[in-house]
Chain A
């Protein structure tokens, strides 16, 4: 039990412990706010063997070495205390594995970082958790000697700087006090405390107070690995590096942002609008911002109007009067080809581009018939929050002034991000020649009004372009997938028996067997894709004497191994999901659990969490119960094996009969779902055949085949998830972890409806999921069986994505899952690879009284926080998998191309459907490869009918050829590398109905 004490504070102390201020609310009321803090004397300094605070310092594993670390300027050892700006601007340096002095991280700094930038705060937290860094967080604001109070007329910034200096001084004194001179011994040489700050005024003040203070650059120059580390320095200190050419006379290209107070009041008053900036992937000179005030997003045309916003930034826009509204350009504008000749140093004149903008704009304004498509148009007047992160880039070789590989001179070069949504980044590096042909990581530091491009710095090289390692890592970085190996603290949470762990023999005293049902004799089997190692579900079914059917879904009992509030649990929560790439799996849980202890392998006893239903032969649920169990699976089938077994009339054994029984129920369950209005959606799914596990060279791509048994497993998983959702929502109405799919806004379908109506005379009824399902079924082209799938894919893209939520956080009537047409849903069936399922397991275990619910799962805000992370990770994981498939499709295409060349068969050609039309191009979807491509026409001869989504192209002989959306065409697919950046890209040209090779 904790000790309860009354801490009385004299009123005289109130000056330091209380903070009182008044604030005015939006409605004009005045509120008095009083904040108190508790000052203590037992906040530990974190230095090993400190006499005074050894007790207060926990955990002892993160203590800093007694004598600091070596540095050429500080022979007696040193510790560094970086100020806030160092973390805000030099995070890459601090994250480098070469930078590892003992760091004292002040609470003031942590709080200020959090206040200023959430992404950087998250990186700081990750930094603190790194095993190879020695960082001690000192809660200086809570220690009575180091707490500071803002003085009158002092800015918050100055107050924080003073607090940081005070803490540095305290450390110095604290160390002296605890190392008193011992008579007869030479006094111990004490390490120095170094205040790192970029602020010269702060340095001066520190020196006046007798402290040691350095700029980051000075400090790094004195380190062992300074050349590599200096490259990581952000280009913030403009005055310390030599000024760039013609800096004085630089032309102003962008308008300055409005002051933040003006922005906030403007948004409040409704004059300005706030939203996320979305770059247009087809046209780099166009972006849009969705704001609540307009149903259509606000269009931003041209660089000046986008005003330095980058994808994902939260920006404030000003909307022009109606008369200046425009329609989005119907042209594809590619950054690479337009800006080829931009010079890096001066760099800022490109008439070609202005040309395009004016041309596009004049076309738009002249085409009056498209006035219906006009949408609010405006410009960015401020950025509330940047979404900058490190970007994977290629160096543009033409921007180098010297390609002498031994040259170590500083050069300014262009880095082209892999993502098409981002502008090129200008950066200065000493290693330029060695970075050509590599994938590199680049951070943006700033974007001035005088600079056409943002400026950044080099973080690190990922490896050669197209090498598996570099491509894989860049993919993981691009989608923010945490992929570091599991640390020791996490692995320590695993059972100590390791691979040898087995279910202990059944006994009343064994904790494993407590309240567990013995289902080892039941004929249970698992059905998974071939090569599946993490088997998290297994099934069984048998006839009951009363004519009903008992069906069971058995899920790996992950929550038996992963306990709440352990390092393993927090790591899994922050990873959120396992990420599947074509050639790699990034696990959410250590593989000992995923592929062994929690994998429901055949012939071994495993712990499971079972949902067992009694169903009538018509698949109505009579009752359901949930229990922890021990199972021994009798077989692990692939979908194909299970299908063959089921279809073979000679097989009459229990296993086969079980599968048949499950299948018959599954068919009825599916029919019921469909009748309730569930959607049968489609997404392009392809499978990559790998040559062998070592070389992992893709041989070919094929579309995934779906069998009856796929649907069998799916139906039972849905049933389990729905039953569990009902149970946990009943027991924990405030904090149940559920999943929902919101109905899409009707406007999302407008474009698709219009295209279907005009091109095919078909209507799409989107009034409910049921009517949508029915009208999708009617979208059939008798000559083209794939047409229906295409429409489904396009309809799927109009929908919102499903999300996890906490039941107490949203209104009860928004729980529904639109796509599944289920009033309630959760994820329960894959706890090895999804964290939400782990939470659902814990809640279900508590709901059946097996174990008390961990306190954290009673807190709504805590659950919400976890689910926010899981939702984001889930989205990113999906995008990463898709990108990985795309990369391999590219490799496979290249292989095919080479083989074709060798045999003289010519280029790779595939059938494709047109899904979009532009003034100068076509968007096509190649279903056999599951990829989308863009066909561009360089010359300006084609006629574009935007109203009817039709492009007519003059043919060399005969009448012009018209191509419309949904038309089937044949395309030639080539993989080409951008000569300058080595970035690979798929290039498509038309073969039929007209060859567009030279167009």
Chain B
């Protein structure tokens, strides 16, 4: 791992573990599984341009994604969770990354697919940066006609903006509760000490 240090920025390391009980059918995925590695690479590529890595030269940011339960749109959930986790950890980013999976059933476009839907219809996962409206990720493994693709891409981008609102609220309420938690610490020193001892 040491070889991956850069003198001008931080290295991002993503590790994905998919629990064998996470899917409907129990299936053991090893750490070296091609699909899991690809998943990790996708997440890494998505966040590399968004995290301000230049602020942390010669260091490493580890992102551990543990999939405990999944029923479709897994990549979308992983990316959104990573965004929130990075914000929660206080790592500076240029923007949120909001991902959503879209698909088309016959003529009606759909969002946020379940496994059942993913198995049946062509689908695409899109990650956007809501402030700049830039698209950081588009990935598709099924066939979709180019006319349909445009429609879904646009819909997914709109959905990204909605998700952004939701995620912002979550961040704000989390921050509020963190601040609320911080207050008693300044008042009663002893309790914090207890924790340390217990730990």
Contact = CB atoms under 8 A, between A and B. Distances in A.
Given A31-B24, A34-B71, A862-B106, A852 B147 contact: yes
A421 B105 CA distance: 42
B187 interface: no
Contacts of A29: 25-26
Interface in B53-111: 71, 104-107, 109, 111
A734 B143 contact: yes
Interface string A718-740: 00000000000000001000000
Contact of B24 (A6, A32, A856): A32
A556 to B, nearest CB: 26
B162 A6 contact: yes
A4 B158 contact: yes
A30 interface: yes
Nearest to B108: A855
Contacts of B105: 859
A623 interface: no
A30 B162 CA distance: 38
A5 interface: yes
B195 interface: no
Contacts of B26: 29-30
B163 interface: yes
A250 interface: no
Interface string A418-432: 000000000000000
B159 interface: yes
B158 A1 contact: yes
Contacts of B144: 858
A708 to B, nearest CB: 44
Interface in A645-688: none
B183 interface: no
Interface in A835-860: 852-856, 858-859
A859 B24 CA distance: 26
Contact of A36 (B114, B143, B159): B114
Contacts of A859: 104-106, 121
Contact of B107 (A4, A34, A856): A856
B163 to A, nearest CB: 7
Interface string B141-162: 0011101100000010011001
Interface residues of B, number: 26
Contacts of B24: 31-34
B166 interface: yes
Contacts of B116: 35
A740 B120 CA distance: 26
The binding surface of chain B is classed by DSSP as mixed
Nearest to A735: B145
B145 A853 contact: yes
Nearest to A35: B116
Contacts of A855: 104, 106-107, 147-148
Nearest to A858: B145
Interface residues of A, number: 24
Interface string B111-151: 10010100011000000000000000000000111011000
A529 B20 CA distance: 68
Interface in B1-51: 23-26
A4 B161 CA distance: 10
Given A1-B158, A859-B106, A6 B145 contact: no
Contact of B162 (A4, A565, A734): A4
Interface in A787-843: none
B107 A6 contact: no
Contacts of B147: 852-853, 855, 858
Interface string A28-63: 011111111000000000000000000000000000
A487 B5 CA distance: 73
A18 to B, nearest CB: 10
B163 A6 contact: yes
Contacts of A862: 106
Given A33-B24, A858-B148, A6 B106 contact: no
Interface string A1-12: 110111000000
Nearest to B109: A2
Contacts of B106: 855-856, 859, 862
A34 B105 CA distance: 20
List of 5 A-B pairs having minimum Cβ-Cβ separation, nearest first: A855-B107, A858-B145, A32-B24, A31-B25, A31-B24
25 contacts: A1-B155, A2-B109, A2-B155, A4-B111, A4-B158, A4-B162, A6-B162, A6-B166, A29-B25, A30-B25, A31-B24, A32-B23, A32-B25, A33-B24, A34-B24, A565-B107, A855-B107, A856-B107, A858-B144, A858-B145, A858-B147, A858-B148, A859-B105, A861-B120, A862-B106
Given A6-B162, A858-B147, 16 more contacts: A1-B155, A2-B109, A4-B162, A5-B162, A29-B26, A32-B24, A33-B24, A34-B24, A565-B107, A734-B143, A853-B145, A855-B148, A856-B107, A858-B144, A858-B148, A859-B106
